[in-house]
Structure 1
C-alpha cells in the first residue's frame, strides 16, 4: 500500500473566520451575483493597486476565456503561448477557434522566452499570452515592447502569481487583462474561482457584462425586478456569493500567508542549493518579487534521468510533491494530435517537465517541515 504523505503538497488554509463568512451567506437571501462578489472585487483591486479593476469569475479558465472572447480573437488568428504552462492557458485560445503558437521557456525561470516570442510573430498573430511560472514575474518589459511594436493584445495567466510584482506593479496589470486562480491550493482560495484584472476600466465593465450572459443591468440596477435587456453575446462565468465570502476572509490573511510562503521557500532553497546536480528555479529579473507558489528543483547531470525514481522515493518518505507541468502543452495528446509534435521541439520546456520536482512551501507548513523535506530529498539524491 502507498503511504499517504505526512507532509502534503498543498492544503487549503481555512479558519473559523472563513467558515463563519460562508455560513453567513448561506443564512442570507442572495447566493450569487450579489454584494459579496462586489466587495471581493473591490478588496482585490485595492490590494493590487495601480488602478486595478477586477471582475470575479467562476474560475481562472473562465477568466482567460472571457478575456480572449472580449478581445475578439477567432478562426484564422494566432496567439503566441508558452509551451510551459497549464493547459488552460492554451485551451482559452482554442475555445475561440484561434491557434496557439507555442514558445519555449527561459530555463532559469521557466517563463516564456521573449526572443522566441519575437521570432514567432507573423501577420496572423493577434496576441501574446504568458504565465508567470511558479509566481515568478515574466520579463514584461520585453513582452510589452514586442506587443507594442506589432500591435498585439497581451493576456497574463496569473494563476500561480498572487502577490508577485515587477517594478512595484502587480502582475496582471501589464497587459490587457490578467487572470487569477483561487483553486484550493493556491495563494488564496475560494474553493474554486478566479478573477479577471485590468488597468482598463472599459475592459473590466464589458468583461463583467460578458461573464453574465451579456445582460445590460445587474439586479440592483433593475427598476422592475426581472426586467432587463441583452445587448451582447455572453456566457455564465459568475462567481457565487459563498466563494466571494471565502475569498474576502482569505484576503484578511493574504500578507501573512505570502510571508510564510516566502520564508518556507528561503529555508528549502538554501538547503537544496548545497546539493550537487540540483538547481532551484528562481527569479532572475531585478526589481521583481515572486509569490513562491511552490519550489521547483531542476535535476541535472546524473539526476535528470532519475526524476521518477526520486518522486517514488519521496512518496515512500511521506513527502508530498507535484510536477509543474507534466508535459509541455504541445506534447499533450490533444495538441500533439491536432498540431503535431517533434522531439526536441521545445527542449527547455521538456527539460523542466521531464526532470524537475515541485516541493511544497505553502502556509500549511512551517520551518520544521522545510527541514524535513530538505533532509529527505538530500538523502534520496545522495543514495541514487
Structure 2
C-alpha cells in the first residue's frame, strides 16, 4: 500500500542554506530579502507592485482597511470559500453578503451578484476556487457599473490566468497565501499584488504600524513619525529567503501539478457516481491546486465512508470547504439563514472530496489514486 500525503512543503538545501545565510547576519526584518522576494513575485505575475505580508488573511484585511471599510458597509463575498475571505471583511466591522457558487467551477455565481448589491455595498470579493480563475471581465464590468472596488482572494491561484492576465491584477488588489501546502511556501506568509502603485505604497506603511520610515530609512536611530493607523503585518527575512528559492522552482511545481491533475481527470472523467469541475478553458489557465470530485446526491450522505476507504488505502484527502461560510456557527448566529439559501455551495462543501496533485507526487501515484477511488465507489456504494 502506498502512503500518499495530500500535501507537504517541498524544501531543499537551497531553502535551508538561504535561511542559514539570513541567520548569520544581523537583520531578520525590514531587510533587503523581503524586497527581493516582492520584486520576484511582481515580475512573475506582471504586477506593478507586490507587498509582502504575514498571511493572505492579513493582506485581505489590509486592503479593506485601506479602503476605509467600516460598520454599515457591505462586501459581496462567495459563500464557497475559506472563512478568511469573510473574516477580512468582518474584522473591519463591515458585513459580508454571501452569494452562491456555480457548479461547474465552484466560483462565485456571477449572475447572482447584482441582486445582492445595495446602496451599502462597497466592494466585490472574488475567490479563484481551487485555482480556476473567475471570469473577471464580467465581475469588473459589474463593479464599474456600481462604482465598487474588486478584491481578489488568490490564496490557491498562483499561476492562474484569465485571458492571459494573472489573477490578482484584474481587480484593485489580489492576495496570495504561502501556507506550507500551497503552490509555494514561506512557512507562513502572503503577498498582495496590485496594478496601483499608490495603493502599494499605502499598504507598505499600514502593514508596519503606519510608521513613515523603517529602520533602514531613519537618519537618526529610533526617530520616526506615525502617519497612518496600521498593523504589524510584515513578512520577516527568513520567510522571504525561503520564498525567493521557491519562486525559482514555481514553473516546475506548476507543470507537475498540471500533469498530475490531468492524469486524475483522464482516469475519473465519466466515472459513475461523481461529477468533476471543469479543468480549464480557452480563456482560463488553471493553477491546479488540487483535484475535487463531487459525489452524486444519492450517495452524498455517505461521503465519510468513501473518505475512510480512500484514506485506509494510504491516500490523503481533504475537503474544500467543510461548510459554506454563512452556515458556520459564527456567521449563522450573526446573520441568520434558512439553511437552503446556498444549494450549490452546500453540494460542494458536503459532497466533495479533494484529491492530491501536488509536486511531491508523480503519475504512478495518480494511477493508484484512480484505482482506489474507482474501487471505493464500487465497494462503498
Q: TM-score range by the shorter chain?
A: over 0.9
Counterpart of 2:298 in structure 1 is 302
Counterpart of 1:36 in structure 2 is 33
Q: 2:102 aligns with which of 91, 94, 106?
A: 106
Residues 312-351 of structure 1: pairs in structure 2 closer than 5 A: 312-351=308-347
SS in 2 for 1:361: coil
Q: Distance in 2 between matches of 1:379 and 1:6?
A: 17
Shift of 1:274: 3.7
Residues 118-157 of structure 1: pairs in structure 2 closer than 5 A: 118-157=114-153
Q: 1:182 aligns with which of 172, 178, 183?
A: 178
Q: 1:372 aligns with which of 368, 374, 377?
A: 368
1:203-242 C-alpha deviation (Å, 9 max, x unpaired)? 0000011000001112222112221110010010000100
- Whether the 8 Å CA contact 1:267–1:367 is kept in 2: the answer is yes
Q: Distance in 1 between matches of 2:200 and 2:145?
A: 25
Residues 194-213 of structure 1: pairs in structure 2 closer than 5 A: 194-213=190-209
1:233 to 2:229 alignment:
yes
Q: 1:254 aligns with which of 250, 256, 263?
A: 250
1:13 to 2:10 alignment:
yes
Ranges in structure 2 where 5+ consecutive residues have no aligned partner: none
1:26 to 2:23 alignment:
yes
SS in 1 for 2:182: coil
Q: Distance in 2 between matches of 1:185 and 1:136?
A: 17
SS in 1 for 2:299: helix
1:85-115 C-alpha deviation (Å, 9 max, x unpaired)? 0000000000000000000011100000111
- Whether the 8 Å CA contact 2:123–2:150 is kept in 1: the answer is yes
Shift of 1:285: 4.8
Alignment RMSD (CA, Å): 1.2
SS in 2 for 1:302: coil
Shift of 1:304: 2.3
1:162-202 C-alpha deviation (Å, 9 max, x unpaired)? 00001111001111110000000000000000001100000
Ranges in structure 1 where 5+ consecutive residues have no aligned partner: none
User: 177-186 vs 282-291, which deviates more?
Assistant: 282-291
1:215 to 2:177 alignment:
no
Counterpart of 2:44 in structure 1 is 47
Shift of 1:147: 0.3
Shift of 1:305: 2.6
- Whether the 8 Å CA contact 1:57–1:238 is kept in 2: the answer is yes
Counterpart of 1:69 in structure 2 is 65
1:278 to 2:274 alignment:
yes
Q: 1:246 to 1:284 in 2, by over 3 A?
A: closer
Shift of 1:121: 0.6
Counterpart of 1:56 in structure 2 is 52
Shift of 1:301: 4.4
SS in 2 for 1:305: helix
Shift of 1:320: 0.0
Q: Distance in 2 between matches of 1:243 and 1:337?
A: 37
TM-score norm. by structure 1 comes to 0.97
- Whether the 8 Å CA contact 2:280–2:286 is kept in 1: the answer is no
